[in-house]
Amino acid sequence: MQTQAWDRFWQQKTPTNFFNWLVSLLKRIALIGVLFILIQLPPTAMSLIKNHPHLDVVSVSGLVIFVGLFLVIINWAYKLFKRYNTTSIKPSRPAQDFRTVIFGYVAIFVGQMVLGWLNAFFKSPNSNR
């Protein structure tokens, strides 16, 4: 998976360069798909563990597995990002990073509120569906 496959195809439009670009694109899509599926595994494992009859024994090992799976997935995604990222990242100020994080949390909170209101609106007995 070469990140310059599109550039090579754009500079010299040959069937080989197009095929290389297409293969690179499909590999990247497959990687994102695999990561999307893998990130669903730890919560699914926790929901299965919750229904186990010996919850006290399984809870500690389940917690270790849960955190371990997330760490493995995050580490793999980070290594993929470092390997295929070719854009230069300019250094930023910590205050700007802090504002970005706070704005992200506020945006998620507002989004959840709006979706909750829409859910209540469509589930209310007065809705004309």
* pLDDT at residue 121, as a whole number: 86
- Per residue in 41-94, pLDDT (tens digit) is 777 777 776 776 666 666 677 777 778 888 888 888 888 888 777 777 677 777
pLDDT band at 103 (very low <50, low <70, confident <90, very high): very high
Side chain identity at 2, as an amino acid letter? Q
Q: How far apart are CA 50 and CA 42, in angstroms?
A: 12
pLDDT band at 2 (very low <50, low <70, confident <90, very high): very low
Q: How far apart are CA 106 and CA 16, in angstroms?
A: 47
Average pLDDT, integer, range 2-16: 66
8 Å CB contact between 8 and 20: yes
Q: How far apart are CA 122 and CA 116, in angstroms?
A: 10
pTM of the model: 0.45
* Least confident interval from 30-34, 36-40, 48-52, 78-82: 48-52
* pLDDT at residue 20, as a whole number: 77
Average pLDDT, integer, range 102-126: 88
Exposed/middle/buried for 105, CB within 10 Å: 0-12, 13-18, 19+? exposed
8 Å CB contact between 21 and 8: yes
pLDDT band at 114 (very low <50, low <70, confident <90, very high): very high
Q: How far apart are CA 106 and CA 99, in angstroms?
A: 10
